[in-house]
Homo-oligomer: A and B are copies of this chain.
């Protein structure tokens, strides 16, 4: 550095580590520090792996260009999806006749002994509900004995809110993706707030509520939806809801009204007993979140159609079991990439604090995976009264998530951002490249079973899900290259 330069007033732009800033400041320099770190979470090997997956317009055969093309295909399936509510399965065992003593749960795989409080409570409740046990102690012993099989909802084509427990007797919404022909399933939202199985409660009134869903609500809704020859197309409803202040994850006020309107109209046309119709409408009327089950099933049916595109780095599932967050990637088969679940940052109901909060839980982040929820939060400024922050934060999440998304969904537009499409299709490469983790808005559960919702907030999926996914994809691509080389060598 020339003496000449140092004679003049110095302006320093400092990137990354701040070690040298103090010296520059002490020397009288004007200092601007940019918070930056190299892509790849500071891991040189991972950085190389990430670099090996970046597309090159001049080299369509390189691994990254193949990933780009695969992602374009995968996200086109997301955008083309046509989820339609077509049926209600009166019992999950109709959908999966071999279910036996299986309980499905939210998030990536987890063993009974590792489950968090709310999920353990929900398992106990489900065992009581199914008559597998007569007391909570007996239910716990049954689970201890290994007599209950556990599997993630996601691996069975389903999604469940919070603990996400689905047992054989429970009714399910059935959503078909007309564009791809696949189906997805979600349990019905119980009313009753805290005292619900999804928060781990299993008191008699909780089980009575489940029984009512099974015996009254489910047949009622089944009669309505099956009386409609084309079912109920969900995409227009969700698109309209985005223009009415919903994000269809933690705000479903408009979509639930639309659902009620459709069901009310249908009910009058069916032969459902008036008392049951009244009861069903009353419960739906009281629950602004009732649509969430359909939103989740629609997103699951959408994202499953995008799964299995070779080489694609698109996230097709992002789910939390209350201990870990798991991510699945279109081109990486059935594997889960996991990291520890964080506690949401947001608002608490009076009397509760972060000390009471369970880490992030539930399959409802399938909405963010499909480009809704926090990704579309610019549509839902009023939601910040529930999850905290400001309307500007809501706009920012939608803007930021475009950084890590492959496309914008022309079917889901955001009025407050000049009707631009919501960002859709998380690319694990972009997450790692920018160090920007997917944002999820979420209800916060008490860590003790059955205490229910204690608040709501914002959480981000852990980076580890994405570092391990990138490493796996890079390894897969490298393996492919080696195989191809070997193949062409063999042919030589």
Contact = CB atoms under 8 A, between A and B. Distances in A.
Interface of A: 240, 243-246, 253-254, 257-258, 260-261, 264-265, 267-269, 274, 277-278, 281-282, 285, 381-382, 384-385, 390-391, 415-419
Contact of A245 (B244, B265, B269): B244
A256 to B, nearest CB: 9
Given A391-B415, A415-B245, A416-B391, A282 B265 contact: yes
A41 B265 CA distance: 55
Count copies of this chain in the complex.
2
A71 B245 CA distance: 34
A269 B281 CA distance: 11
Contacts of A260: 257, 260-261, 264
Contact of A269 (B246, B278, B419): B278
Contacts of A385: 419
A381 B265 contact: no
A268 B278 contact: yes
A382 B278 contact: no
Nearest to A243: B382
Contacts of A418: 390-391
Contacts of A244: 244-246, 253-254, 382
A416 B381 contact: yes
A281 B257 contact: no
Given A244-B254, A265-B281, 11 more contacts: A243-B245, A244-B382, A245-B415, A253-B254, A254-B254, A254-B257, A257-B260, A264-B264, A264-B265, A268-B281, A391-B419
A355 B261 CA distance: 39
A244 B383 CA distance: 10
Contacts of A265: 264, 278, 281-282, 285
A260 B260 CA distance: 9
